[in-house]
Amino acid sequence: MSRETLAILNTSTLIGFTDKRGHAWHYRQEDQGEQSNHYPGAIPVADVTRRLFDFTAEARPVYVALPTDLITADAIGPDGAPIRYAQVNDRQAITHSRTGDVFGLFTDGYTIHQFGEWLVESVSPLLSDTITIGSAGVLRRGAVAWVSVEAPENLTTRQGVEFRPNLLAATSHDGSLATTYKMVATNVVCDNTMSTALRERGPQYKVKHSRYSQMRLEDARDALGLLEITADNFTAEVQALCEQSVTDAQWSAFLAATAPIPSRPGRAQTLAVTKQDALRRLWNHDARVSPWARTAWGVVQAVNTYVHHEQTVRGAGRAERNMQRAITGGVDDLDRTTLTTLDRILTA
């Protein structure tokens, strides 16, 4: 990861409860700027607005340049020929109010969901002494944002798995995300986002960017359930997986099924060998995984940690990719696929 990307993460994200969860994986003191983005406790709502959501998305008309004569010309094009601008009536550009960056072009039915309104004001009724903001961030030059609502204390299963259940709220200005409110769990030891229902998609509530969009907090609450229920369900699943043993032979069979190695030498073979080696190293030697080796939970931890922190990321930054996977269901798909593969091996 480039130094520039690390600097962005250290100034465009806010991380709370570091006394409970430690520093984020991307923390670099030299990139913090005048004020640290890490908070020992909860992140004040005012800081989220002041430090991250200090701009709005604005709709602007879209024009196309058409060839014309000098009498009706509005400008001269790059090739030196006269042009006139014609407005595209059924299209709009969504732009950044401070930088002027264009997030995307949309039909006139696209509705902006401002970050402050949909990610702060919408969750404010949930906030209290026991439910607070634990993290927030803006990625892709202001195109995507999220806020995580959490309880102050970490929860720990009997097997020593420490986690934080949270409501993740996210939206976008570039069309990449519908506004989504979703229950997830943050695994403290590895700073991973995991599904709260490991064998299925976790509960979520989505609002499209349409002219009829309207967020009803009551609907979101009904769809998502309570943090306490989420914590209980996740704890029960983790405990069951910790109690399910996985032999060395079964682990080897899982690796072969998850990253099958082609017989013919080439790039595909190299990638598969590299993935298997990385998973073995995590399983045997990494503190984020090895304490639960030879259990089904260890298998989930190995794959989840590998994908979050080691798998090659193309076309996006790792933080952006991980956040989008959490919102769009990639995290659910990953954990569910891992357990489906493992179940097939354990019952063979």
What digits encode the pLDDT tens for the residues 244-271? 999 999 999 999 999 999 988 899 999 9
What Rg, from alpha-carbon coordinates, does the chain have? 23
The tens digit of pLDDT for each residue in 90-126 reads: 999 999 999 999 999 999 999 999 999 999 988 887 7
**DSSP-derived 3-state class of residue 195:** strand
Query: Average pLDDT, stretch 217-222?
Result: 60
Whether residue 58 is predicted with pLDDT greater than 80 in this model: the reply is yes
Whether residue 158 is predicted with pLDDT greater than 60 in this model: the reply is yes
Average pLDDT of the chain is: 86
Residue 4 pLDDT: 44
Secondary structure letter of residue 201 according to DSSP = P
Whether residue 220 is predicted with pLDDT greater than 70 in this model: the reply is no
- Beta-carbon contacts of residue 192 (< 8 Å; ≥ 6 apart): 186, 304, 305, 308, 309
**DSSP-derived 3-state class of residue 248:** helix
More confident residue, 99 or 204: 99
Residue with tokens 């519908």: 178
Of 124-138, 165-179, 195-209, 289-303, minimum mean pLDDT range:
195-209
Query: Average pLDDT, stretch 292-307?
Result: 94
More confident residue, 186 or 322: 186
β-strand 82-96 against 102-107: which pairing, if any?
Answer: antiparallel
Query: Average pLDDT, stretch 206-216?
Result: 77
* DSSP notation for 298-344: HHHHHHHHHHHHTS---SS-HHHHHHHHHHHTHHHHHHHHHHHHHHH
Q: Which helix (H) or strand (E) holds 86?
A: strand 82-96
Residues in the chain: 348
Whether residue 1 is predicted with pLDDT greater than 50 in this model: the reply is no
- Beta-carbon contacts of residue 308 (< 8 Å; ≥ 6 apart): 190, 191, 192, 193, 322
Whether residue 305 is predicted with pLDDT greater than 60 in this model: the reply is yes
Domain boundaries, the chain: 3-54+113-225, 57-107, 240-346
Residue 226 pLDDT: 58
Tokens of 142: 């202001």
Residue 219 pLDDT: 62
Residue 201 pLDDT: 66
Dihedral angle, C-alpha 72, 74, 76, 81, nearest 10 °: -30
